[in-house]
Amino acid sequence: MKNTKTILPVTATGLSVFVLAAILAMVAGSAIAKPPRTEQQMAQETAAYLQSVAKGDALWHDGSLGTNGLACGNCHPDGSASNPHTWPKYQTNLGKVGTLREMINWCITVPMQGKPLAYDSEDMIAMESYATYTHRGVAIAPGKDEQHGAVPVYGGPGYPAP
C-alpha cells in the first residue's frame, strides 16, 4: 500500500501503467497457476521438433533445393561444417555479419543454383533444425572463425561403435 500511495497521485500515465502492470500480474499469475506440462505434451513437442529435423534432413540431401544436382549434403555430410554454433558472424562470401539462414540461402542460390527460401518458411526452419541438431551439445561460439564437424555418429545397422 505504501507504494500505491506514492504512485497513484503522480499522473494519469502513471496510473495507466500501474493498471497495466496489475493486469499483467494477473495474467502471469494464471500462467503460474497452470499445471505443469504432462510427459505426453513434452513428448509431442519433442516429436514436432524432430519432425522438423527429419524434414531438414530430407531437404539437405535430396537435391530438390538446387538445379544442378548438388545437395547441401554433398559438401556438408551430417551437417558438418555448417557451423551453426558460430552464427551470426562475418562471412567473406556474404560480405557482412550474417546469419546461418543467410548462409543457407547463399549455398542454395550460388553453388546449388536454386531459388532462395523465405527466411520464415517451414523449409528454412527445417534446414536450421537439421543443422543445429547435428551439432547438439557443441558450445555456442558466435562470431568465431571455427569449423566443427557434426556430432560423431557411430550408430545404425552395420556401423561399429568407436
CB of 105 to other proteins, least distance (A): 13
Q: Which helix (H) or strand (E) holds 122?
A: helix 122-133
Of residues 7, 54, 55, 61, which one binds other proteins by CB under 8 A? 61
Which residue stretch of 9-17, 18-26, 29-37, 154-162 sits at the interface with other proteins (rule: CB under 8 A)? 154-162
Q: What are the angstrom distances between the C-alpha of 127 and each of 1, 54, 77, 116, 136?
A: 53, 9, 13, 12, 14
Query: Taking each helix axis from N to C terminus, what angle separates 122-133 and 100-109, rounded to the nearest 10 degrees?
Result: 110
Binding mask 88-107 for other proteins (x = CB under 8 A): ----xx------------xx
| Residues 3-42, interacting with other proteins (CB under 8 A) | none
Nearer to other proteins, 124 or 150 (CB): 150
108: CB partners within 8 A, 6+ apart = 65, 66, 72, 114, 115, 116, 117
Interface with other proteins, residue 154, by CB under 8 A:
yes
Residues in touch with other proteins (CB under 8 A): 61, 68-70, 73-78, 80-81, 92-93, 106-107, 111, 147-162
